[in-house]
Amino acid sequence: MLHVRSIWNGAISFGLVSIPIKLVNATENHSISFRQIHVEDGGRIRYRKFCELEEKEVSGAEIGKGYEDADGTIIPITDEDLSHLPLPTARTIEIVAFVPEDRIDPLQMDAAYYLAAGGVPAAKPYILLREALKRSNKVAIAKFALRGKERLGMLRVVGDAIAMHGLLWPDEVRTPEGVAPETDVTVNDKELDLADALMDTLGEIDLEELHDEYREALEEVVAAKAAGEAPPESPEPARGGKVLDLMAALENSVKAAKESRGEPPAEEAEIRRLPRSTTKKSPAKKTAAKKTASKSTRTTKKTATKKTTAKKTPAKKTTSRKRTA
């Protein structure tokens, strides 16, 4: 961690205890970035900064900050002005409370940082705060100033270090009104059972196994183009459609998840279908009824034939007797 450049130096204010620290980014971006180019000749597109008054390009050293007033007046603000803000958190992470971690809404989570102890004298109070957080099973809520504004932060223990998550202010988180479906839809116990089965089948996963497949595919395309080769073809997209039978979709999802894990398919007895599946079996019943009907018809025909034969036989005997007389 020592080789990573700190982005902020200050101290943690823990009551009357002050802990010198350095703020270090806890995450890094591995995304592939692109440059804007002129499609016709591949030339780089660059943005140049011009002064409106002098109508000439200026360098970065000549550019400062300014606040635009309501009437359009620009009020210059220097870095020195910002460094002397009448704010106690300008160079201090001021802990204001300790709360259970589940009190923090994940929607408030922002960027993450590591807090590195600022030198040997900071080691003892740093470890004291770390162990106090561990034993209490709580997180510290703090206020600090960074990049021109005051922010909220949540301090928690990660391994042997103290990490801080920037938090959005409560009024910066939108309410979910109008997001959920407004239609009156209910789900039954069978559908929930299958959803639970799918969740159990998918199970847990080691997050270390997950990787950015989009970035890997993009790297393949870039490498092929650089070598003058045709980029690899994309696989055939899965054909999706409207889910007409939610139960069937859930059952197929469970089967697919088990097959991907090499598990044997579930027994038919474990699969429960919607009541309407009984309607589908009606033709089978009709067929059975037809078969029964046809059997009874054949039986009736045979019986009728026997009766007819039986009736005809005596008639022949009677005729023969008359001829004899």
DSSP 8-state secondary structure symbol assigned to residue 212: -
Give the phi and the psi of residue 225 in degrees, each rounded to 5: -65, -40
Predicted pLDDT at 200: 85
251 and 161 in a common domain: no
Determine, yes or no, domain membership for 37.
Answer: no
Residue closest to 149 by CA, chosen among 173, 175, 167: 167
> What's the length of the chain?
325
* Number of folded domains that form the chain: 2
Q: What's the CA gap between 139 and 97, in Å, rounded? A: 8
Predicted pLDDT at 90: 67
**Which carries the bigger pLDDT value, residue 183 or residue 141?**
141
259 and 126 in a common domain: no
- β-pair partners for 225: none
**Which carries the bigger pLDDT value, residue 155 or residue 187?**
155
Determine, yes or no, domain membership for 128.
Answer: yes
End-to-end alpha-carbon separation of the chain, Å?
132
Predicted pLDDT at 207: 82
- Amino acid letter, residue 320: S
Instruction: For 255-314, write each residue's pLDDT tens digit.
Output: 887 777 777 665 543 444 444 444 444 444 444 444 444 444 444 444 444 444 444 444
- β-pair partners for 300: none
194 and 155 in a common domain: no
Q: How confident is the model at residue 64 (pLDDT cuts 50, 70, 90)?
A: very high
Percent of the chain at pLDDT > 90 equals: 36
81 and 155 in a common domain: yes
Predicted pLDDT at 300: 47
Determine, yes or no, domain membership for 38.
Answer: no
Residue 115 burial (C-beta neighbours within 10 Å; 0-12, 13-18, 19+) = buried
123 and 193 in a common domain: no
pLDDT of 120 strictly over 70: yes
Instruction: For 158-194, write each residue's pLDDT tens digit.
Output: 999 999 999 999 999 999 988 888 888 888 898 898 8
Q: Are strands 17-25 and 50-51 parallel, antiparallel or unpaired?
A: unpaired
Q: What's the CA gap between 290 and 269, in Å, rounded? A: 28
- β-pair partners for 167: 109, 152
120 and 24 in a common domain: yes
**Which carries the bigger pLDDT value, residue 82 or residue 195?**
195
90 and 17 in a common domain: yes
Instruction: For 216-236, write each residue's pLDDT tens digit.
Output: 888 888 898 888 888 888 777
pLDDT of 242 strictly over 60: no
DSSP 8-state secondary structure symbol assigned to residue 265: P
Residue written as tokens 């991907």? 260
pTM score above 0.95: no
The residue among 253, 274, 295 that closes a domain is: 274
- Amino acid letter, residue 8: W
Percent of the chain at pLDDT > 70 equals: 75
149 and 250 in a common domain: no
143 and 19 in a common domain: yes
Question: To the nearest whole number, what is the mean pLDDT of the chain?
Answer: 79
pLDDT of 28 strictly over 60: yes
Residue closest to 23 by CA, chosen among 120, 174, 193, 161: 161
Predicted pLDDT at 321: 42
pLDDT of 93 strictly over 50: yes
SS3 per-residue string spanning 171-192:
HHCCCCCCCCCCCCCCCCHHHH
Query: Of the ranges 121-135, 145-159, 287-301, which one carries the lowest mean pLDDT score?
Result: 287-301
151 and 107 in a common domain: yes
197 and 252 in a common domain: yes
144 and 17 in a common domain: yes
| Coil/strand/helix, residue 272 | coil
Determine, yes or no, domain membership for 106.
Answer: yes
Determine, yes or no, domain membership for 1.
Answer: no
Predicted pLDDT at 45: 93
Q: What's the CA gap between 250 and 160, in Å, rounded? A: 43
Q: What's the CA gap between 219 and 225, in Å, rounded? A: 10
Predicted pLDDT at 180: 86
* CATH number, domain with residue 133: 2.40.290.10
Whole domain around residue 97: which residue ranges?
8-30+73-172
Q: What's the CA gap between 7 and 207, in Å, rounded? A: 28
Determine, yes or no, domain membership for 149.
Answer: yes
DSSP 8-state secondary structure symbol assigned to residue 274: -
Determine, yes or no, domain membership for 59.
Answer: no
Q: What's the CA gap between 95 and 168, in Å, rounded? A: 16
